[in-house]
């Protein structure tokens, strides 16, 4: 019995041109797979950093250096932004409440908004833009100039040396900056509310004290802690997996800010939803 004959060529059979629908589905599939790969790598780098948390050397000096970089060097932008955020929010709230003759509520409203939402979220976004981008750029530059390979070659774990101190510093410092943001924001609100809009000082303070309770403050600080974890992890991840020279460093830096910012905004919703 004769065998079925094959075409007399070794070349693989040509695929028919993909339709628009097929190409679209392939594109979506590629993006999903790429996203899952990114998620896996971020989780992996975070897990390695956590596993290294108490592994010697603990890197106290490097962690303090990063806390100074993330925290102290972010102070001017945090102070400026928080004061003006408190001030502008007071101004807009005053105009809205004035329509109902409820101007006295301004202090409390601004206080709750600052401690629960604006403080942690704006602090997170500012730190992601200033310190997160710099961390991604620094680690990315070290990757493309073989400095991370040099660490490996010298038997120094890059996760322990580079990633752990940055994540720990971000987690510790962002809540501190947030507390400062809340305080200075309230001062800005007080200055405009009492100083410019002539609200009653005792009423402003009473509403602020009565409406803002410890739950609001702890919720905001918890959010800040999560945002710090996001900023440190995403920045280190983007820097650590940088490829492609100077252009790659630029892309990693931009991507670090974008991904951190989006992750902060999304996680903010879920935390707000989960916590009363």
Partner 1 sequence: MIIDPVTGAPAAIRYEGVHKSFGTNHVLRGLDLIVPRGKITAIIGRSGTGKSVTLKHVMGLLRPDRGEIFLGDVNLMQLNPKALRRVRERFGVVFQNAALFDSMDVFDNVAFPLLEHESFSSDVVRAKVTAALAQVGLSAAVHRLPSELSGGMRKRVGLARALIRDPEFLLYDEPTTGLDPILSAAMDELIYETQQARPALTSVIISHDMKAVLAIADKVAFLVDGRVVHEGTPEYFAQSDDALIRQFLAGSLDGPMKV
Minimum distance of partner 1 from residue 156's CB (angstroms): 5
Minimum distance of partner 1 from residue 22's CB (angstroms): 23
Task: Specify the residue, 43 or 145, whose C-beta has the smaller distance to partner 1.
Answer: 145
Maximum distance among all Cα pairs of the chain, rounded to whole angstroms: 104
Q: Residue 260 burial (CB < 10 Å; 0-12/13-18/19+)? A: buried
Minimum distance of partner 1 from residue 250's CB (angstroms): 17
Asked if residue 63 binds partner 1 (CB under 8 A), the reply is no
Task: Specify the residue, 151 or 225, whose C-beta has the smaller distance to partner 1.
Answer: 151
Residues constituting the chain: 276
Task: Specify the residue, 99 or 155, whose C-beta has the smaller distance to partner 1.
Answer: 155
Task: Specify the residue, 11 or 155, whose C-beta has the smaller distance to partner 1.
Answer: 155
Minimum distance of partner 1 from residue 138's CB (angstroms): 8
- By the 8 A CB rule, do 209 and 234 touch? no
Task: Specify the residue, 26 or 152, whose C-beta has the smaller distance to partner 1.
Answer: 152
Minimum distance of partner 1 from residue 121's CB (angstroms): 31
**Alpha carbon distances (Å) from 60 to 68, 70, 160:** 12, 15, 11
Number of residues that bind partner 1 (CB under 8 A): 14
The interface with partner 1 within residues 86-145 (CB under 8 A) comprises 141-142, 145
Determine the 3-state secondary structure of 262 from DSSP. Answer: helix
The interface with partner 1 within residues 43-62 (CB under 8 A) comprises 57
- By the 8 A CB rule, do 240 and 158 touch? yes
Phi-psi region of 213 (alpha: psi -120 to 50; beta: other; left: phi over 0): beta
Task: Specify the residue, 146 or 215, whose C-beta has the smaller distance to partner 1.
Answer: 146
Task: Specify the residue, 106 or 144, whose C-beta has the smaller distance to partner 1.
Answer: 144
Sign of CA dihedral 226, 229, 231, 237: negative
Minimum distance of partner 1 from residue 63's CB (angstroms): 15
Task: Specify the residue, 21 or 154, whose C-beta has the smaller distance to partner 1.
Answer: 154
Would you give the binding string for partner 1 spanning residues 138-167, x where CB under 8 A is met?
---xx--xxx-xx-xxxxxx----------
Minimum distance of partner 1 from residue 207's CB (angstroms): 49
Q: Which segments of the chain does DSSP mark as H helices, in order?
A: 20-51, 60-70, 75-98, 106-113, 119-127, 133-144, 147-153, 158, 164-190, 201-211, 214-240, 245-274
Minimum distance of partner 1 from residue 10's CB (angstroms): 18
Q: Please, what is the Cα angle at 249 between 227 and 226, to 5 degrees?
A: 5
If you compute the radius of gyration of the chain from its CA atoms, what whole number of angstroms results? Answer: 25
> What does the binding site for partner 1 look like in residue numbers (CB under 8 A)?
57, 141-142, 145-147, 149-150, 152-157
């Amino acid at each position: 019995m004769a065998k079925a004959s094959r075409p007399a060529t070794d070349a693989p059979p040509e695929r028919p041109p993909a339709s628009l629908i097929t190409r679209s589905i392939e594109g979506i599939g590629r993006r999903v797979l790429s996203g899952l790969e990114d998620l896996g790598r971020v989780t992996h780098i975070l897990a390695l950093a956590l596993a290294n948390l108490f592994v010697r050397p603990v890197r106290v000096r490097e962690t303090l250096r990063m806390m100074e970089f993330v925290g102290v060097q972010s102070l001017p932008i945090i102070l400026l932004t928080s004061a003006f955020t408190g001030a502008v929010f007071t101004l807009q709230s005053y105009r809205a409440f004035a329509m109902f003759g409820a101007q006295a509520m301004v202090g409390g409203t601004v206080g709750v908004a600052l401690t629960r939402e604006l403080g942690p979220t704006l602090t997170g976004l500012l730190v992601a833009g200033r310190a997160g981008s710099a961390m991604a750029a620094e680690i990315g530059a070290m990757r493309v100039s073989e400095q991370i390979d040099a660490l490996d070659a010298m038997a120094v774990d890059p996760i322990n040396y580079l990633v752990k101190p940055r994540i720990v510093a971000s987690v510790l410092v962002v809540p501190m900056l947030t507390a400062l943001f809340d305080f200075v924001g309230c001062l800005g609100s007080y200055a405009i509310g009492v100083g410019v809009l002539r609200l009653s000082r005792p009423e402003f303070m009473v509403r602020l004290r009565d409406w803002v309770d410890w739950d609001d403050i702890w919720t905001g600080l918890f959010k800040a802690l999560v945002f710090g974890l996001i900023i440190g992890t995403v920045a280190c991840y983007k820097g650590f997996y940088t490829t492609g020279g100077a252009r790659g460093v630029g892309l990693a830096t931009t991507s670090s800010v974008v991904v951190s910012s989006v992750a902060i905004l999304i996680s903010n919703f879920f935390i707000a939803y989960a916590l009363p």
